[in-house]
Structure 1
């Protein structure tokens, strides 16, 4: 999936959760939402985009959410 589209969607989620709480609380809610509703490949691709500097437009709370998520080690 296109990382720019994932960033756009993550930012929309961030805007929703950031409206009424602190950045830390919003990040926890965003991470929970992503883990419940996004496919693992989407979460992995967003994390990869953050890691590779392809997600400069990602809101701070969403970026923090990505950092909070744990990803299983890659199978070789």
Structure 2
């Protein structure tokens, strides 16, 4: 198992800086950015899921229209 230490150190420093800014009151929502690696992929998956559901509904409506008005 290989761990990218540079990336881990950068993330650690950034989260530490954001925590200090939150303590100082300069950036009250820093916890959002600390959790960003979790919620950004979840938002992407939710967006893809919504697009697929809309496409499925459009397909079902199209099939119903074809069955009603088709040859």
Which TM bucket (shorter chain)?
A: 0.3 to 0.5
**Structure with the largest fraction of helix:** 2
TM-score, normalized by length of structure 1? 0.35
Of structures 1 and 2, the larger Rg is shown by 2
Tell which has more relative contact order, 1 or 2 (C-alpha 8 A, sep 6+). Answer: 1
